[in-house]
A and B are shown apart, each in its own frame.
Chain A
Amino acid sequence: MNILNKIDSLMFCMAKVSIFICMFLITINAAMRYLFNKPLTGTYEFIELFLMVILVFLSLSYTWKLKGFISITVLFNKFPLLIKNLIYFGIIILGVCFFSLIGYEGYATTVEKWLNNEVSSGVIPWPLFLSTVWVPLGCLMIVLRMFLELVIGVRNIFSIGIRSDIFEMQDEIYSNEELE
């Protein structure tokens, strides 16, 4: 879990740098166009091919950790603790399936683009595998995190028993880890 968290932080950091660069790139591009009649070549493609993909896919796992995915909890909140826990494991399994499929397809796409040396057509011929590679990387990360949550969660049920509310469960998983 520790190594996982470190790699994840690194990826999330890249996403942060991306969103920050994005902001300045757009502004500088607009300013150059109005002031010097000469926009920054390739801004459009760079944001579309790299920054957007990085900032979304590399923060997938962290968003899960921060409980950022919205869900409808009206009914869920009414269930007893044990059921909540079981449902939570079910949710994780669905999530693992969903992101694995996206990640696997993203991986296949990336390999294909890499083997064929695909480049974008335009003034700067960007290698395209560098654009899609963030899809499998991000998905791999969130799948690993979900999978570990599942393993640790199940183990905790057997060793400690059920005592936490579902929303505290994630926290507990991470805080238990710190102890080890």
Chain B
Amino acid sequence: MDVIIPVLLLFLFLAFGVPVAIAMGVAGAVGLYMAGGVDSLLGIFQTAPYSSVASYGWVVAPMFILMAEFLSASKIINDLFKSAHKWLGHIPGGLAVATIFASGLMGALSGSSTASAATISSSAVPQMKKFGYNPKLAMGVVSIGGTLSILIPPSTILIIYGIITESSIDKLFIAGILPGIITALGFCVVILLWAFIKSEDAPRISPVPFIERIRSLRLLWPILLLLSLVLIGIYMGIVTITEAAGLAAVGSFIIPLVMGKFTFSSFNQALNNSLKTTTMIFTIIIAGHIYGYYLTITQITQKLVNFVAVLDVSKWTIMLFIVLLYLILGFFMDQIAILLLTLPLTFPVAMSLGFNPIWFGIVVAKTAEIGLVTPPLGLNIFVSSGAAKEDIGIAFKGIIPFVLVDVVILLLLIFLPAISMYLPNQM
């Protein structure tokens, strides 16, 4: 009973729209009480909320969130697409390729894929439609482009994975770079094929003079330079990940300030949004810990690990099963909630089978990318459709070829761990 009721309760709460943090927290509390008595319940509620927050290492989360918010408040980010368009617009499917390119860079400036998708789609979709692009292609590109920010560091999903599993966040960040780039290239291949097969969907446009392309970088280069320095700093070990996050936030504050791109209200709004996101994440982490301790006390985790250990199947079969589980959950659920709900179970299993924690993080992050654009709950689709004022159905149709490539890349990441592990192993 002390296993069934709290789990049922959790799914009931979630289905009825109870915020994930409250659902997990209350279900966990009921479970703790049933499995361990009132001492366990009160004991965990005394330690877990404070301990889940009071940690120097986790200040990376608010800092990278702050950086992204400053950059989007400064509107510098809006220039990104314009510039990419000027550089790449004239090649086949050029505007779409430029959008992917801009999304990749956005991914490096932002930890949140929805923020990235919203910004890009509001500027890129009207532009593509103006030049006669098929709305399906346009919507597909902007929706899928936003997902790049999950693998390309900084990444909220990878920070949360690092906090929950106590894996090194800097290694996770570095490990995400190559898979992120490969994913972006994969999307470009889809666009080129699309433009080749149905050239009427992506009309060619004439090149922009070189001097104008250079000029478009005027506002962007300081930020891009800052971001490259931060990444190189982490990779070379010159700064710790926390320092890198702090420096990135300060840089993203000062550069727009000097350029006169900040108003007080946009600055204030950036602080508001950062705190809102940070608090949302940490509330879920608190609840996730409470729920995780409940699972521990019932020894479900241990039993599951033992059960998997005696299964007569290869560890790859189990891994594929886990990945499939993530893809299925991704259809219906929020990506952060999925991580919090499942990692207390899947991570110990994956570790007991001898998989690498960093690699597992990248694989899980990749499934989160896919979950963001699959129906019925495809957060990125909603956001980009909303921002571009386009029909959701068109976006879901346009996304199909990109999702197929995503699945292929996911399989590549699973069976060629070197793609994720090459860079972190050099650190």
Contacts and interface: CB of A to CB of B under 8 A. Distances in A.
Question: Do A and B originate from a single complex?
Answer: yes
Given A19-B62, A105-B46, A24 B250 contact: yes
B54 A53 contact: yes
A165 B53 CA distance: 34
A74 B333 CA distance: 9
B50 A26 contact: no
Contacts of A109: 46, 50
Interface stretch (A60-68, A154-162, A169-177): A60-68
A4 interface: no
Interface in B13-31: 13-23, 25-26, 29
Interface of B: 13-23, 25-26, 29, 42, 45-46, 49-50, 53-56, 58-59, 62-63, 66, 239, 242-243, 245-247, 249-250, 253, 268, 271-272, 274-280, 282-284, 286-287, 332-334, 336-337, 376-377
Given A72-B17, A72-B334, A23 B22 contact: no
Given A62-B275, A66-B276, A102 B49 contact: yes
A22 B63 contact: yes
A64 to B, nearest CB: 9
B332 A74 contact: yes
Contact of B246 (A30, A69, A95, A132): A30
B381 to A, nearest CB: 13
Contact of B18 (A24, A56, A91, A135): A91
B242 A63 contact: no
A44 B377 CA distance: 40
Contacts of B16: 75-76, 87, 90-91
Interface of A: 12, 15-16, 19-20, 22-27, 29-30, 44-45, 47-49, 51-53, 55-57, 59-60, 62-63, 66, 68-76, 87, 90-91, 94-95, 97-98, 101-102, 105-106, 108-109, 131-132, 135
Contacts, number: 171
Max chain A Cβ within 10 angstroms of own Cβ: one of B15, B20, B268, B282: B282
Contacts of A101: 29, 45
7 contacts: A23-B253, A30-B243, A56-B282, A66-B276, A68-B276, A72-B377, A105-B46
Contact of B56 (A48, A55, A98): A48
